[in-house]
């Protein structure tokens, strides 16, 4: 079930990232140019941290036996999806979004390491 949810969320991420406008902004505000904001941004985009934290946790739980591959995939997708904004109309590449993506992946890895550490005790 977790693996199915991971793949579904992965497809949703790709659709949200490559669409030339904000689909979430349209559904919530009826405005493709307005982006919903869950919390205020810190040094990085908080929305991106939350999104990639969720995606990464689901991915790591889904592929516990292939951790190296899923970690490589998660970092790759977090970078590639943001880089695509360089060529997608009405989207813009932003470093604080990219760093938010990467920090979300890193936090999920840290949580996995902590859980594994506590399980061994």
- Neighbouring C-alpha atoms within 13 Å toward the C-beta of 8: 5
Number of structural domains (the chain) is: 1
DSSP state of 66: G
Q: Convert the pLDDT of each residue in 20-61 to its tens digit.
A: 877 766 777 777 767 766 677 677 888 899 999 999 999 999
Domain that holds residue 109: 2-120
CA distance to 48, 50, 67, 74, 98, per residue, from 94 (Å): 11, 17, 28, 19, 6
Please report the pLDDT score of residue 116 as a whole number.
Answer: 85
CA distance to 42, 46, 120, per residue, from 116 (Å): 29, 26, 6
Q: Convert the pLDDT of each residue in 12-30 to its tens digit.
A: 989 988 888 777 667 777 7
């Amino acid at each position: 079930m977790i693996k199915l949810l991971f793949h579904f969320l992965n497809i949703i991420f790709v659709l949200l990232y490559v669409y030339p406008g904000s689909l979430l902004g349209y559904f919530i505000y009826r405005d493709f140019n307005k982006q919903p904001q869950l919390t205020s941004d810190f040094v990085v985009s908080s929305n991106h941290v939350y999104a990639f934290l969720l995606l990464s946790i689901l991915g790591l739980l889904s592929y516990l036996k292939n951790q190296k591959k899923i970690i490589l995939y998660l970092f790759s997708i977090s970078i590639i999806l943001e880089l695509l904004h360089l060529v997608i109309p009405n989207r813009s590449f932003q470093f604080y979004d990219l760093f938010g993506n990467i920090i979300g992946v890193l936090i999920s890895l840290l949580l996995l390491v902590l859980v594994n550490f506590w399980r061994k005790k």
